[in-house]
Structure 1
Amino acid sequence: MRLFVAAYPPAEACDDLAARLAGLHVMRAGERGVNTRPARRETWHVTLAFLGDVPDEKAPRAVTALERAAAGPPPTLRLAGGGRFGRGRFTILWVGVDGDRDGLVRLSRSVRRELKRERLPFDDRPFKPHLTIARPGDRIDRAEVEADRADLAAYAGPEWPVSTVELIRSHLGPNPWYERVAGYSLVN
Structure 2
Amino acid sequence: MSSRSGKFVLRIPADMHESLSAMARSKKLSLNQLCVSLLADGLKAKVQDPEPAFFEDLRALSLQLKKHFGPTLCGTALFGSYATGDATSASDIDLLIVLNRGTPIERSLYKWWDDNVIWYEGATLNPHFVNIPDDAERAGGLWLEVATAGRILYESGSALTDLFKKIKELIDEGRVRRYTSNGHSYWIWR
Q: Mark yes or no: TM-score above 0.5.
A: no
- Higher-RCO chain (CA-CA 8 Å, sequence separation at least 6): 1
Higher helix share: 2
TM-score by length of 1: 0.29
TM-score by length of 2: 0.29
Higher strand share: 1
Query: Between Structure 1 and Structure 2, whose CA radius of gyration is higher?
Result: 2
